[in-house]
Amino acid sequence: MFIAQYIFDFASRSPSAPAIIHNDHAISYRAFAGAIARAAGELSAALPQPRGAVAVMMHNLADCWVTTLALQARGYTTVCVASLEVLASLEIRHLLGIVVSAEEVGMAEPCDLAPVLALSKPVFDGALAFETPLLAEDVDDCGHILFTSGTTGRYKKVLVPARVQRESDRERCDFQAYDSSTRYHALGFGLWTGNGYKAPSSVWHVGGTAILDQRSEWVEPFVRSGVTQATLLPDMALRLSESESLAQMASPAGARPIIYLSGGFVSAKVTGRLREHFDVFNSYGCTEVGLGVLWHDYALPADPSWMVSTGARVVEVENASGQVCAVNEEGRLRIKLTELDATGYMDDPEASRAAFRDGYFYPGDQAIRREDGAFRILGRTADVVNLAGQKLAVAPIEANLQNVLQVNYVCLFAGVTASGEPEVVIAMEAAELPSRDRLDHVGQEFSQWGEVRFALVDTFPRTQSGTSKIDRKRLKALLFPV
What's the CA gap between 359 and 336, in Å, rounded? 6
Give yes or no: residues 293 and 336 share one domain: yes
What's the CA gap between 313 and 7, in Å, rounded? 29
**Per-residue pLDDT at 134:** 84
Q: Is 122 exposed, middle or buried (0-12, 13-18, 19+ CB in 10 A)?
A: buried
Which H or E run includes 453?
strand 451-457
Query: Pick from 305, 337, 369: which residue ends a domain?
Result: 369
Give yes or no: residues 34 and 150 share one domain: yes
**DSSP string covering 4-28, please?**
HHHHHHHHHHSTTSEEEEETTEEEE
Sign, CA dihedral 424-425-431-436, equals positive
Q: Are 287 and 363 in contact (CB under 8 A)?
A: no
What's the chain's length in residues?
482
Nearest Cα neighbor of 165 from 206, 202, 200, 134 is 202
Give yes or no: residues 236 and 163 share one domain: yes
Q: Are 294 and 308 in contact (CB under 8 A)?
A: yes
361 strand-pairing partners: 335, 356
Q: Are 7 and 33 in contact (CB under 8 A)?
A: yes
Helix (H, G, I), strand (E, B) or coil at 469: coil
CATH number of the CATH domain containing 218: 3.40.50.12780
| Integer angstrom CA distances of residue 277 from 24, 246, 259 | 21, 8, 10
Give yes or no: residues 341 and 413 share one domain: no
Q: Does residue 324 fall inside a structural domain?
A: yes
What's the CA gap between 306 and 89, in Å, rounded? 37
Q: Is 105 exposed, middle or buried (0-12, 13-18, 19+ CB in 10 A)?
A: middle
Task: Give the pLDDT of the chain (482 residues) as one tens digit per residue.
Answer: 799 999 999 999 999 999 999 999 999 999 999 999 999 999 988 998 888 999 999 999 999 999 999 999 999 999 999 999 999 999 999 999 999 998 887 776 678 899 999 999 999 999 999 988 888 877 888 999 999 875 556 899 999 999 999 999 999 999 999 999 999 999 999 999 999 999 999 999 999 999 999 999 999 999 999 999 999 999 999 999 999 888 877 766 678 999 999 988 898 899 999 999 999 999 999 999 999 999 999 999 888 889 999 999 999 999 999 999 999 999 999 999 999 999 999 999 999 999 999 999 999 999 999 999 999 998 887 777 877 777 788 888 998 899 999 999 999 998 888 788 888 999 999 999 999 999 999 999 898 888 899 999 999 998 876 677 888 889 999 998 86
Give yes or no: residues 340 and 432 share one domain: no
Give me the domain span that covers residue 194. Answer: 3-369
The whole-angstrom distance between residue 382's C-alpha and the CA centroid of its chain comes to 21
Q: Are 324 and 340 in contact (CB under 8 A)?
A: no
**Per-residue pLDDT at 151:** 53
Q: Report the 10 Å Cβ neighbour count for 444.
A: 10
CATH number of the CATH domain containing 406: 3.30.300.30
**Per-residue pLDDT at 259:** 97
**Per-residue pLDDT at 323:** 96
Query: Pick from 341, 369, 397: which residue ends a domain?
Result: 369
Give me the half-sphere count of Cα atoms (radius 13 Å) on the Cβ side of residue 71.
Answer: 32
Helix (H, G, I), strand (E, B) or coil at 348: coil
SS (H, E, C) 235-256: HHHHHHHCCHHHHHCCCCCCCC
Total domains present in the chain: 2
Give yes or no: residues 390 and 355 share one domain: no
Q: Does residue 216 fall inside a structural domain?
A: yes
Give yes or no: residues 411 and 321 share one domain: no
Give yes or no: residues 400 and 263 share one domain: no
281 strand-pairing partners: 260, 297
**Per-residue pLDDT at 108:** 67
Q: Are 185 and 227 in contact (CB under 8 A)?
A: yes
Give yes or no: residues 127 and 254 share one domain: yes
Q: Are 124 and 33 in contact (CB under 8 A)?
A: no
**Per-residue pLDDT at 257:** 95
Q: Does residue 130 fall inside a structural domain?
A: yes
**DSSP string covering 133-156, please?**
PPPPS--TT-EEEEEE-TTTTS-E
Q: Are 243 and 199 in contact (CB under 8 A)?
A: no
Q: Does residue 378 fall inside a structural domain?
A: no
Query: Hey, what's the torsion of the CAs at 44, 49, 51, 55, to 10 degrees?
Result: -40
Give yes or no: residues 170 and 32 share one domain: yes
Q: Report the 10 Å Cβ neighbour count for 178.
A: 23
Q: Does residue 379 fall inside a structural domain?
A: no
Q: Does residue 375 fall inside a structural domain?
A: no
Q: Are 378 and 368 in contact (CB under 8 A)?
A: yes
Q: Does residue 413 fall inside a structural domain?
A: yes
Contacts of 114 (CB under 8 A, 6+ apart): 55, 95, 96, 97, 98
Give yes or no: residues 147 and 222 share one domain: yes
Give yes or no: residues 364 and 404 share one domain: no
Q: Does residue 374 fall inside a structural domain?
A: no
What's the CA gap between 304 and 281, in Å, rounded? 9
Query: Pick from 339, 369, 399: which residue ends a domain?
Result: 369
At residue 64, what is the residue type? C
**Per-residue pLDDT at 252:** 66
